[in-house]
Structure 1
Amino acid sequence: MDFVPPFLVPELRGASCLPTPSASPVEMESIESGSTKSPTENSKLLDPAEWTILDVFNYFKKAGFEDQAMAFQEQEIDGKSLLLMKRSDVLTGLAIKLGPALKIYEYHVKALQMRHLKSSSS
């Protein structure tokens, strides 16, 4: 199958290739880690700006990007750094394959940035 850029396939724009859990990524992290705290009790998990390097690593690992999670860890990307990342940072700065890099930016980094902006402006 030939590569078709996402901008040429509007019906796929914004759709994730990953399974979409009914719970948010933060809730899934609590569920998968066996945490007894709910995401609302642990404000650190709710606010990506407070994430440590390990939190960022675990987020991408649990999202299905285990190999790419290592790149975030090696580059010492914490939550504040993650929220400052631009598309080009993810695509070229982390030395990860283009396909996963595009998915990571579009469906995770950008989504976390937008969620953070919404919560900080409220």
Structure 2
Amino acid sequence: MPGQNEETKVIFHLLYHAMLLVIEMLVVLLVLSVVVSGCRLTYQFCYEVFGSVSKEQAPGRDIDFEIEEDDTMYRVAKRLSTEGLIVNPYSFYARTLMMERSRTKLYPGSYLLNTAMDYEEIIDRLTVNE
């Protein structure tokens, strides 16, 4: 009997350490998964801010877009996204924040935009006083 009790302790000790190892591996996999997802989302956002991104490929669809007198660039970005003209309102807005202020002054009016236009083309169209 005394030998059996020692064997049981050793088995439980081994099982305990095996379970700890499995839990540690799961935590490492979870952290790794979060890091990889964060990197992927960061890359995607940065590509949208600095790259040439359009909602659709050419020829796209023409959409009439109105800019009111009191519209801000942030509100315009939200509406552009809602109307299907841009991929992400936050990356569009971030792009405008990095531009010279004179290049991002909005002019009220009606604009014909296309879903195949990239962010730069849309910004150029909305900020040129015709």
If the TM-score is normalised by the length of the shorter chain, which range does it land in? 0.3 to 0.5
Higher CA-based Rg: 2
TM-score norm. by structure 1 comes to 0.33
| Structure with bigger RCO (C-alpha 8 Å, 6+ apart) | 2
